[in-house]
Structure 1
Amino acid sequence: MNKMFNVLAMVALMMFSGLALANGDAEPAQQTGAQLWHDIKAGEQGVTTSKSAFADQLINVNDPRLIPAREDYLAPGIMLATFGMIAVFILFIAVNGISKLHGGFSGKMVHRWSKFDVAIHWIGAIPCLLLIITGLLILAGRFFVQPYIGEGAWGSIIYASKQIHDIMAIPFIVGWLVMTVLWAKNQMPAKYDIAWFMVVGGYINFGPFKGKHPDAGFANAGEKLWFWTFAFVGALVVLSGIVLLFPNWVEPSRSLSLLAVVVHGVAAIIIAAFSIVHIFMATVMSEGGMECMVSGYCDENWAKQHHNVWYDEIKADGTLKYKD
């Protein structure tokens, strides 16, 4: 294949040189090629049957640092955000342990989320998790997967990842939009949120933080931080993703396409890191916490310990509802 390519290249060079001499051009072929390259970089337009917005531009003359940034910064970044946060939480739980209910489970289940809220959560959460996994493979899989498998297997994996990534983008956008609009009212900052951060939410089981139970409303300060990160950084993921997913609709310039790749990668790194924290807090760190997004109900002692302000409010106004 290399020999054939070299032969074709020599033939093309000879033809190009011959045409230049036939036209009485005194400049060598190299000089003519340099002039052609100069004209292309200057924006010289050609003729093509393509209908894209920038079809008459032969090369991309934008900032060349955008392309290496993907490999030099984004790929290591998403690996660190994902595997690094997993490692941090495993170490933290090994040293600190989980946050247990001090009064144990009461057996009384308090209504917290509607069935619609639970459904919307999973419509956004499952695609988000799949997008993180497939995005990790697409962006950095060549570093930690490709070297250990055959080219055929890697080709199949990366093709499947791209298809899943594109398909899961749609339900993620729907979930992100609905959650952001419907849940914002319960995510507004409060004065007691500062105290929550000062004692790390009461999740530390040693030293002066042990046994602390800071005030929290329907959402605690950590959940609020996650929500607004998901809302605003998620918007960057969605907008940049739309540019990349629907180029025929958006008709971006090459500059916008490259910028969308970088913005999408940076935003994905942030979402991935916060998602790992959210998953560990819900499934492992907080005893009884996962039940909220399975049935929509939480144990009464869990509500008192982790969301006491909210529990006192619904008890006082008569909206406290137990599971039958």
Structure 2
Amino acid sequence: MLGLMVALLLMCTAFPAGAETGEKSQAIQIPNPSADLWREVRQREALISGKSQVKGVDSGTLINPYGQQWREFRMSQLIPYGGYFLAGVLILLALFYAVRGKVKVNAGLGDKKLFRYTLYERMIHWFIASVFLFLAITGLVLLFGRSLLIPVMGQAYFSLLASACKEGHNLFGPVFAVALLLVFIRFVRRNIYQKGDLTWLLKGGGIVGKGHVPSHFFNMGEKSMFWILVLVGAVIVGSGLILVFPVFGQARMTMELSHVSHAITTLLMIAVILGHIYIGSVGMEGALDGMTTGYCDLNWAREHHAEWAARCEQEGEVLTESEVARLRGERMAQASPPGVQEVGQ
């Protein structure tokens, strides 16, 4: 009886009802209740929201399709095109140097000096420069390191480097905000655009071509770089604070947009700073003296900041190298403790 029952069950399974009448069996179509949900997810058109007792900005968001869009943009567009952009800037600077060469002082460097920057101004300049270079290097490691450094140093060592860069980047990011504020307060008055700045720009500032273009204490190029530093730097600081301190009530979408704006503006700032470093190092003779010693050469000032140099000469502010050395010695003596001064004497 058991065998007959098993055989009958197998026959019913193999030949369902309707086979005897020649009718084809048809599967019962049951609609998937989640079909519309996943169709919207695949289209990436909107957030899928629900209700939750957990209180938070994104607690009611079940699926955020924009996260995938952000990831695809970062991997397929931001990283490769950002790398091409920086490489292009370096190539253009190298080609420009090969064609133009170093901008020399036509009259040559002499023994007459003009006082240009105070000690405090030089300190905040190098302060923001060092902090920005550190943030730029650590940020570039985090952005390009996975594709460039892992093949060289391996995943284990890169993970240590990336972790250290991330912690250092987050730590010194707010420091850059403080440095930017100090630079703005100190230099904003001398970076207001004046009459003649547009002429300087149209003539290439003496960098493009051989013409002499007079300017004030800061020329149009230096003023433009200052405002790029302030305005673009403000975006970098604002987006960085949103990324570092996720306690402002920002949603994930806000974090994604902040990451994109932070990366793009930082790449732009790095390109501008590369041009600034080029001019201050190999691009122009005498350009770095003011920020290293506080004094600039008189002939250099006449050729690059003629209106400011003429005013200084009229007011009798021209100094010789011996006078500059004497003033430095007096400042060092005043800044040194009594015991140190006695040993020096």
Cα offset for 1:167? Answer: 1.9
Q: Say if 2:162 is the partner of 1:158.
A: yes
Q: Say if 2:196 is the partner of 1:195.
A: no
| Alpha-carbon distance in 2 for matches of 1:140, 1:66 | 16
How many residues are aligned here?
A: 290
8 Å Cα contact 1:82/1:276 also seen in 2:
no
Cα offset for 1:27? Answer: 9.8
Seen in structure 2, the aligned counterparts of structure 1 residues 196 and 291 have a Cα distance that, compared at 3 Å, is same
- What does the per-residue CA deviation read over 1:4-56, in whole Å, with 9 as the maximum and x for residues that have no partner? xxxxxxxxxxxxxxxxxxxxxx998x9355577689953113355xx753234
Cα offset for 1:318? Answer: 4.8
8 Å Cα contact 2:113/2:318 also seen in 1:
no
Normalising by structure 2, we get a TM-score of 0.76
Pairing partner for 1:264 from 243, 262, 265: 262
What does residue 239 of structure 2 align with?
Answer: 240
Over the aligned positions, Cα root-mean-square deviation in angstroms equals 2.6
- What does the per-residue CA deviation read over 1:252-287, in whole Å, with 9 as the maximum and x for residues that have no partner? 111211111111111112101101101101111111
Cα offset for 1:67? Answer: 3.3
1:75 aligned partner, one-letter code: I
What does residue 213 of structure 1 align with?
Answer: 212
8 Å Cα contact 1:138/1:161 also seen in 2:
yes
- 2:114 partner SS: strand
| Alpha-carbon distance in 1 for matches of 2:34, 2:29 | 10
Pairing partner for 1:43 from 38, 45, 49: 49
What does residue 80 of structure 1 align with?
Answer: 84
- 2:301 partner SS: helix
| Alpha-carbon distance in 2 for matches of 1:27, 1:291 | 82
Map 1:108-257 → 2, pairs under 5 A? 108-204=112-208, 209-210=209-210, 212-248=211-247, 250-257=248-255
| Alpha-carbon distance in 2 for matches of 1:188, 1:197 | 15
| Alpha-carbon distance in 2 for matches of 1:321, 1:37 | 77
- 2:64 partner SS: coil
Q: Say if 2:94 is the partner of 1:93.
A: no
Bigger Rg, which one? 2
Seen in structure 2, the aligned counterparts of structure 1 residues 116 and 81 have a Cα distance that, compared at 3 Å, is farther
| Alpha-carbon distance in 2 for matches of 1:118, 1:222 | 19
| Alpha-carbon distance in 1 for matches of 2:319, 2:38 | 73
- What does the per-residue CA deviation read over 1:218-276, in whole Å, with 9 as the maximum and x for residues that have no partner? 1111111111111111111011111001112x221112111111111111121011011
Identical residues among aligned pairs (%): 30
Q: Runs ≥4 in structure 1, deviation > 6 angstroms?
A: none
- What does the per-residue CA deviation read over 1:86-123, in whole Å, with 9 as the maximum and x for residues that have no partner? 22111211222100111221123321111111111111
Task: Could you tell me which runs of 5 or more consecutive residues in structure 1 were left unpaired when the two chains were aligned.
Answer: 1-25
| Alpha-carbon distance in 1 for matches of 2:196, 2:226 | 17
8 Å Cα contact 2:117/2:291 also seen in 1:
yes
| Alpha-carbon distance in 2 for matches of 1:156, 1:52 | 33
Cα offset for 1:164? Answer: 1.9
| Alpha-carbon distance in 2 for matches of 1:235, 1:81 | 22
What does residue 310 of structure 1 align with?
Answer: 308
What does residue 284 of structure 2 align with?
Answer: 286
- 2:188 partner SS: helix
Normalising by structure 1, we get a TM-score of 0.81
| Alpha-carbon distance in 2 for matches of 1:171, 1:43 | 38
